[in-house]
Amino acid sequence: MPVSPTDLVLAAVAAAVIGLVSGIFGIGGGFLLVPVLNVGLGVPMHIAVGSAACQLLGPATTIALARKVRLADTRLPLLISGGLLIGVFLGADVLRRASAHASSDAGGGAETADVIVLSVYLGILLFLGVFSLYETHRAEAGRPLQPLQIGVWPVPPRVLLPIEFSERVSVTILAWLGLLVGFVSGLIGIGGGLLAVPGMIYLLGVPTQRAVTWSNIIVWIVALQSTIVHAWYGHVLLPLVASLLLGGTVGARIGTGVGQRMRGRQLRRSFGWLTLATAGMTLIRLVVLLK
């Protein structure tokens, strides 16, 4: 697919803004980038997903270096990396199968891929946006939601992570959480932070800033895995990726400094409004497709 120089410049500018958001919230930014590429620049959905997943390596590496990630910070992300890998492969394969119908269905396959990806986006964004705002409102009213702490449920095998948790955590539960994050990431081209941050806060009981740090590592792992899988399927457009990397890496470095100065509640409220705004854009595109 040819891309004009103007499109490459616009993609770099969009990636810089999205990289800024990535650094602030500790998310991959793919949930913003894929709709922008598909809706704004007309990039086919499977190419938008693969290229967005590939370019996440730049901002994710920049954010990890800026936050001075220590070796001890990698233990929990590495525990779930097996589930992440399997999930990414399964999600990317579903996208490949949906896109493959294009050649035999006169373009219908491309629409099928668009509808699947945008529908998943819409559901996730609406849920996370409403939930984040609801939780923040409860916290401000003095009635904060209590995390489920599912990581310490007695499901074997269990390991001790003394810095992260006071009790032994279930490797099985963490692996299934990684499988879910990886599947959605492989299917719709996000880095995993969109699910990992609220998952660690509300399901595992991890403090917000700690969750953001771990999420950055998870995003990097997912981006690496997704790049390999989507490149294998031919979903990566290198000129587009280079343009996205240029803008995204610069924006991520600036956003990291901003995010580290924000309070946890402030981060969660802003995250909620951001996801709802993106859900609105996704809904409009989905309605147009289904007409």
Out of 3-17, 29-43, 275-289, least confident range = 29-43
Number of domains in the chain: 1
pLDDT at 112 over 80: no
pLDDT at 120 over 60: yes
Apex CA 198: angle with CA 170 and CA 268, to 5°? Answer: 150
Q: What is the pLDDT of residues 93-111, one digit of tens each?
A: 888 888 776 555 555 555 7
159 forms beta bridges with 169
Please give the structure tokens belonging to residue 95.
């996208």
Average pLDDT, the chain: 80
Q: What is the pLDDT of residues 126-168, one digit of tens each?
A: 988 888 888 888 878 888 777 777 877 778 888 776 556 667 8
Taking residues 189-201, report their average pLDDT. Answer: 78
Query: Can you tell me whether residue 203 is helix, strand or coil?
Result: coil
Sign of CA dihedral 169, 173, 179, 182: negative
pLDDT attached to residue 183: 92
Residue 73's domain spans which residues? 5-290
pLDDT at 287 over 70: yes
Please give the structure tokens belonging to residue 4.
């004009």
Letter for the amino acid at 247? Answer: G
Quote the CA–CA distance of 224 and 102 in Å, as a whole number.
27
pLDDT at 208 over 60: yes
Query: Can you tell me whether residue 43 is helix, strand or coil?
Result: coil
8, 38, 41 from 14: Cα distances, Å:
10, 12, 11
DSSP3 helix / strand / coil % (the chain, rounded to 5):
75, 0, 20
pLDDT band at 86 (very low <50, low <70, confident <90, very high): very high
Quote the CA–CA distance of 192 and 264 in Å, as a whole number.
19
Quote the CA–CA distance of 182 and 275 in Å, as a whole number.
19
pLDDT at 256 over 80: no
173 conformational bin, left if phi > 0, alpha if psi -120 to 50, beta if neither: alpha
pTM: 0.76
Q: What is the pLDDT of residues 224-248, one digit of tens each?
A: 888 888 898 888 899 999 998 888 7
